[in-house]
């Protein structure tokens, strides 16, 4: 694996962590708009990671950072403070984000236009 590819995976993991923190803070602020905004940001991150790297590993790196942030923020503090209140909105954000990551990781990549089609006889 090249150094540039490794660096891009590390950058995607950091970006995933930041998007996870931002989405965790926004999703409960404005229901349902904040939830939709957080899921849209998450989907943009995962799809962008797929387009940037061209591999599901890029989506996995961004997803690992996102999941680390969400799990870290879902833990409560000893004082009882926490980012997630434990309602349905938080579950939709968590499960929806994971579903979007899986969809982007398993998405069929279309070959670039202008090149050979790969079909026989054409």
Map out the domains of the chain as residue ranges.
Answer: 7-76+83-105
Judged against a pLDDT cut of 60, whether residue 58 lies above it is answered with yes
Tokens matching residue 69: 């942030």
pLDDT at 28: 81
Q: Which residues contact 57 (CB under 8 A, 6 or more apart)?
A: 9
Query: Residue 90: which of 74, 69, 72, 75 has the closest Cα?
Result: 74
The answer to whether the CB of 49 falls within 8 A of the CB of 32 is no
Q: How many helices (DSSP H) and strands (DSSP E) are in the chain?
A: 4, 0
pLDDT at 30: 81
- Alpha carbons within 13 angstroms on the beta-carbon side of residue 59 total 22
DSSP 29: T
pLDDT at 84: 72
% of the chain beyond a pLDDT of 70: 86
The mean pLDDT value for 86-96 works out to: 89
Query: Which residue did the predictor score with more confidence, 77 or 106?
Result: 106
The mean pLDDT value for 19-37 works out to: 90
Distance CA 5, CA 110 (A): 21
Tokens matching residue 22: 């931002």
Q: pTM for this structure?
A: 0.83
Distance CA 49, CA 62 (A): 7
């Amino acid at each position: 694996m090249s150094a540039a590819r490794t660096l891009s995976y590390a950058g995607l993991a950091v970006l995933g962590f930041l998007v996870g923190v931002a989405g965790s803070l926004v999703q409960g602020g404005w229901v349902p708009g904040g939830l939709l905004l957080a899921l849209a940001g998450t989907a943009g991150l995962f799809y962008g990671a797929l387009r940037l790297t061209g591999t599901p590993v890029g989506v996995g790196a961004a997803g690992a950072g996102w999941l680390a942030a969400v799990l870290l923020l879902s833990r409560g503090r000893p004082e009882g403070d926490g980012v997630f209140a434990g309602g349905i909105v938080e579950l939709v954000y968590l499960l929806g984000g994971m579903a979007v990551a899986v969809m982007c990781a398993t998405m069929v990549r279309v070959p670039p236009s202008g090149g050979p089609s790969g079909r026989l006889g054409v």
